Amino acid sequence: MVPPNPPQLSSLPADQAVQALQSIPLGSSLGENLGLLRQVFARCSDLVVHQLAPGAGSAFAVIYIDGLIDQDLLDRDVVRPLLERGSPSAPMASVRSLTYVPETARVRTHGELVQRLVSGEAILLADGSPEGVAYGLQGWETRAISEPVAEAAIRGPRESFVETLRFNTAMLRRKLKSPGLKTEALTIGRVTRTDVVVAYLEGIADPGVIAEVHKRLQHIEIDGVLETGYLEEFLEDAPFSPFPQIQNTERPDTAAGQLLEGRVAILVDGTPVALIVPTVFAQFMQANEDYYERFLIASAVRMLRYLFLLVALLLPSLYVAVITFHHEMMPTSLLLSIAEAREGVPFPALVEAMAMEVTFEVLREAGIRLPKPVGQAVSIVGALVIGEAAVRAGLVSAPMVIVVAITGIASFAVPRYNAATAVRMLRFPLILLAGTLGMFGIVAGLSGILLHLCALRSFGVPYLSPMGPMDWQGLKDVLIRAPHWAMRLRPRLVGGQNRVRVGKGLAPGPPPRSGGGR
Amino acid sequence: MMARRVIALVLLPALLLAGCWDRLEINDLGIVTLVGIDRAEAGVRLTVGVVAPTSTPGQQEKGGGGGKGGGAQSGRAIAYSAEGATVVDAMTRLQEKVSRRLFWAHARVLVFGEEYARQGLTPALDFWTRHREPRLLLQVVVTPGEAAEFVQLQPRLERLLSEAVRETINLRFQTRVLLRDLVEDLRDSPGHAIAPRAELVPGQPDGRDVSISGTAIFRKDRLAGWLDDRETRGLLWLRNEAQTGTMTVDLPNVGSVSLNVIRGRTVVKPVLAGGRLRMNVALTVDLDVVESAALLDWSKEETLRKVEGSAERSLRERITGTLQKLQDEYGVDAVNFSEAVRRSLPGLWETRWKNRWDQVFPTLPVDLQVTAQIRRTGEHSAPLGVPENQVQKNQQKLLKQKE
């Protein structure tokens, strides 16, 4: 039993050092074991080695990383029993029975020891035993479950995912009280060793998709995963597409809803954002509130969203095309008003539109990052400078300001932020096309976008389904949101395994009239 | 794959090269709203009203006064004029005087001067239907006198003369003829046309107003003469184009009653009686009492019947007058009886009448049947503020009248 050469060990990169330690078994001498541990954790101020000597000749050491441990539990259930009843010659087996922690594991190698230590377990080593005990006593400060920030809703649950993976799986489990909810765990990231959970409903989710998710996840070799975004880029079918092919959500209710449709959720420790695959375009226009609000209202709002999706994508380019190429398309009086407003504006409409749109994007971007009090100042100055002064100075025409403002607001009507951003970015090439080729350019650009959308897949599911390959049942949740009792079947391409979700003939109505009485 | 990408990258800019050739900023446009066509030495004289946009908002309407020359008043139309052998020739010369590219797609009104109209419209019409910019929805009017003078008028209420003309015509008190209708009329046998008459009339205090009243009657494409306001109403009834309007019925010794036309429908039916063609014209009119200067009790049914009878007589007179003028004086079928005949007797039309309709029309017997019905009598039945016995007296007088 030769301990490895310390300088050699510390010169290795962190992940390889752990690998090297994996093959080194624990020795029977507590001193030697601790010595190696101290080398590995050299210059780690948060390592705590708590040496105990309950009786003469007996020596224990409790090791943990400060801050990752529930200190009270450790004292009550491990340290105190040991001090009170630990005997000098107690074998390791009896030590295990002395303590009160249910989640224990044997540790036999240094590698395992280090791994468990950094995951927040407490390790008990005893002199004379080539085996340690790991206690799952993790406990650290966590953020409380709070209201969702990015996906606010008027009606619906107020909780959102948090940074702790366990809480997130628990939130899912609380909504889906079924053993069918599988939460398969993986670890990704050589350094970060991030816990990842693949959650799905067995019997509903497509096994092919589940296998594909596993395959793609296992394929990933990366040093660290700090957010689901790291995984998303490895999982996408078409990484260069402007359209997101994976939905993300911070709402457990949205995630649960998607699981019920047969989708797979990927939860990552350390972020309150879950990924949902496979994703189709229609999902980006569905807000979770659509399913909580009455269906007529939800349908009306849904249609409004589609309308404004088009506005957000097309309005500036249509405006530019019409006022630079197709003057005859406007009603005369509108043309005259616009002509009057544009009189004296020094820039071509194309330049004007691009400048204004870029300014708007900058304002939006600046508004997000700035601290709140400053952000307000920026928006006031931005609105004043652009809306008022530029028009007054005759640099920009008032109709253009209106167009940009409507477009900006329209893009926020898309419920998913990442989809809205994609649409906002796509309108720049469209404006360019409109300013150079007119309506022809817009149609060409739109055709290009449509072709791309038709070709796009998310985990094998066509992006435009249920419209792409037509699925009449699925259409009940695209432009409209049919009542829950009418959406009898799950989307064919996603939840094809087990399609029935609502029983037949459940449409409510007035009670049948009982004979005679009134 | 790589090669294909390179080729695609090389070809992409070509897309941009092809673009922009039609690019025209809105502030480089001279938007023509009104076109006048006159006879000139060289051929035609083209006068256009080009909108002068304001430079900055809020600077409009400084200094009033319309009138000649069409000064550079902001937001209004400025008149430019040029002569040429053809319309396009004149247009080219016109463009030399205007700093902005003349844009014809928003022209709304085409005005023909009387002299040009008498000489025939056809040479001037081709351009407006052939070129891609002007619309077939141009309103065609004919003005007695010079179109050039007409185009220069600055209307007082509307900003643009074209709007003033168009809106007035669209009220449908007079005939409404679009370029599309005009060319259709000229194409079909017998090939006569009509157009509303637009005229400058003195207005208060020293300006002039445009008035749309009367109709220009064309024999083929040449102006043959005019129908006045009253005759035009008759023409509208005959053509089933009278949609709204008022009529005043005079009841002798009692007073006048003004009636609103709510709807009117004319059915023209050609009948063949003993080998001779007759036209059956059936007119039904729904009326509304809007003013009763004659103090009558409108709750009585006989009042309604009497007034309806008078209204029918008055309508009949009016229509007969128009028909007489068309048949006897002009010999031009502006009523489009020809179309009714062609539709109901297509075979005979082709063989017997098509080529000699101009001889048939002037002697064509017309049976006119007018049915008027008063639907509503307004807010009160007996006039307010009038002693009851006076109403009674009037009522008696009315009833004593013979049909």
Better-scored residue on pLDDT, B141 or A40: B141
> DSSP E strands: which ranges in A17-109?
47-52, 60-65, 104-107
What is the mean predicted confidence (pLDDT) over B254-266? 90
* pLDDT for residue B209: 86
Q: Which residues contact B141 (CB under 8 A, 6 or more apart)?
A: B109, B110, B111, B112, B165, B169, B177, B195, B196, B197, B198, B212
The answer, yes or no, to whether residue B13 has pLDDT greater than 90, is: no
Minimum mean pLDDT range among A100-114, A443-457, B1-15, B310-324: B1-15
Tell me if B26 and A336 make a contact (CB, 8 A cut-off): no
Q: Could you give the CA distance from residue A99 to residue A228 in angstroms, rounded to a whole number? A: 38
Of all residues in chain B, the one with the smallest CA distance to A336 is: B53
**DSSP label of A467:** T
Contact A185, A278 (CB under 8 A): no
Interface test with B, best of A343, A345, A352 (most B CBs within 10 A): A343
Query: What Å distances lie between residue A231 and A216, A225, A453, CA to CA?
Result: 9, 7, 22
Report the mean per-residue pLDDT for chain B: 86
Touching A: B residues 98-117, CB under 8 Å: 103, 105-106, 108
How many CB atoms within 10 Å of residue B381? 15
- Chain A residues whose CB is inside 8 A of the B106 CB are 327-328, 332, 335
* pLDDT for residue A257: 93
* pLDDT for residue B373: 93
Of all residues in chain A, the one with the smallest CA distance to B54 is: A340
* pLDDT for residue A191: 86
Q: Could you give the CA distance from residue A81 to residue A96 in angstroms, rounded to a whole number? A: 11
Tell me the per-residue pLDDT of B186-228, one tens digit each, with 9 for 90 and over: 988 788 899 999 998 887 777 788 889 899 999 989 999 999 9
* pLDDT for residue A82: 80
Contact A492, A499 (CB under 8 A): yes
The answer, yes or no, to whether residue B174 has pLDDT greater than 90, is: no
- Map tokens 């080529």 to a residue: B355
- Residue A348 has its nearest CB partner, among B25, B31, B55, at B25
**How many CB pairs below 8 A link A and B?**
77
* pLDDT for residue A229: 92
What is the mean predicted confidence (pLDDT) over B25-52? 90
Answer yes or no: pTM beyond 0.90.
Answer: no
Q: Which residues contact B274 (CB under 8 A, 6 or more apart)?
A: none
The fraction of chain B above a pLDDT of 70, given in percent, is: 92
Q: Could you give the CA distance from residue B399 to residue A80 in angstroms, rounded to a whole number? A: 124
- Map tokens 């624990």 to a residue: A26
Q: How far is A335 from chain B (nearest CA, A)?
A: 8
Interface test with B, best of A333, A437, A439 (most B CBs within 10 A): A437
* pLDDT for residue B72: 42
- Residue A344 has its nearest CB partner, among B16, B51, B55, at B55
Tell me if A336 and B15 make a contact (CB, 8 A cut-off): no
Q: How confident is the model at residue B154 (pLDDT cuts 50, 70, 90)?
A: confident
ipTM above 0.85, yes or no: no
| Rg, C-alpha atoms of chain A | 31
What is the mean predicted confidence (pLDDT) over B52-76? 46
* pLDDT for residue B337: 92
Per-residue pLDDT of chain A (518 residues; tens, 9 = 90+): 445 554 455 566 666 777 778 788 888 888 888 888 888 888 889 999 988 876 666 788 889 999 888 888 888 888 888 887 766 555 566 666 777 777 788 888 888 888 888 888 899 888 888 888 888 888 888 888 899 888 888 898 999 999 999 999 999 999 999 999 999 999 999 888 899 999 999 989 999 999 999 999 999 999 999 999 999 999 999 999 999 999 999 999 999 999 999 999 999 999 999 999 999 999 999 998 899 999 999 999 999 999 999 999 999 999 999 999 998 888 888 888 888 888 888 888 999 999 999 988 888 888 778 887 777 777 777 777 777 888 888 888 889 999 998 998 898 888 888 889 899 899 999 999 999 888 999 999 999 999 999 999 999 899 998 888 888 888 889 999 999 998 888 888 777 778 888 888 888 889 888 765 55
Residues in chain A: 518
What is the mean predicted confidence (pLDDT) over B374-378? 89
* pLDDT for residue B94: 93
Contact B174, B215 (CB under 8 A): yes
Contact B350, B374 (CB under 8 A): no
* pLDDT for residue A10: 55
The answer, yes or no, to whether residue B401 has pLDDT greater than 70, is: yes
Q: Could you give the CA distance from residue B194 to residue B178 in angstroms, rounded to a whole number? A: 10
* pLDDT for residue A12: 63
Strands B193-202 and B208-219: antiparallel
Handedness of CA A446, A448, A451, A456 (dihedral sign): negative
